[in-house]
Amino acid sequence: MLTGTFLSCQAQNHEKIKWMGFEEAVLAAEKNPKKIYIDVYTAWCGWCKRMDATTFSNDTVAAYMEKNFYCVKFDAETKDTLHFKNNIFVYKPEYKANELALSLLSGKMGYPSTVFIDEKFNLLTVVQSYLTPEQIMPMLKYFGENIYLNKTWEDYQKEAN
């Protein structure tokens, strides 16, 4: 079981989102299917810390994420060994990243990165950028309410504005 690498709500009282470990979220989704939201970050990333302090502490964002996703805070540089889809992911020193982060981000290592995964563990999209509450809410709704199944992101954005 993974410990120290993932932040927990109990350890950081100011956090409004109950962050889970990656393997914990996968197990929860297998028992009770729900999409997974992954915040891929690093300890040294200033924009990651800003997103924690602003976006993830926003009441509306936190409540929506808690209701519609299993939320994972994933340190791209973790040296922990992870298991997913019959694969083993380890830290790769030559990339200064865990293979799972490399896989999720297709080798484009930018932080923070937002990753959406569906109930069957298929990658839906990756967004590499700091996101404000106003920027992230339409994305959360687009995937959380399954709008992506019937409408392109571009059409959804046009209607939302």
> For position 159, what pLDDT does the model report?
86
Orientation angle between helical segments 133-144 and 59-68, nearest 10 degrees: 20
Examine residue 41 and state whether it is found in any structural domain, yes or no: yes
**Number of domains the chain contains:** 1
- The answer, yes or no, to whether residue 6 has pLDDT greater than 80, is no
Pairing of strands 97-98, 35-41: unpaired
Residue 8 lies in a domain: no
The answer to whether residue 47 sits within a structural domain is yes
Read off the pLDDT of residues 93-151 as tens digits, 9 standing for 90 and up.
999 999 999 999 999 999 999 999 999 999 999 999 999 999 999 999 999 999 999 99
Burial of residue 84, with CB atoms counted within 10 A of its CB: 0-12 exposed, 13-18 middle, 19 or more buried:
middle
How much is the pLDDT for 136?
A: 97
**Could you report the per-residue pLDDT of 7-61, keeping only the tens digit for each?**
433 334 457 899 999 999 999 999 999 999 999 999 999 999 999 999 999 999 9
> Which residue, 100, 68, 124, 123, is CA-closest to 2?
100
Give the alpha-carbon dihedral of 145, 146, 152, 157, to 10 degrees.
0
Q: Is residue 12 part of a domain?
A: no
Is residue 6 included in any domain, yes or no? no
DSSP code, position 131: -
pTM of the model: 0.88
pLDDT of residue 14: 52
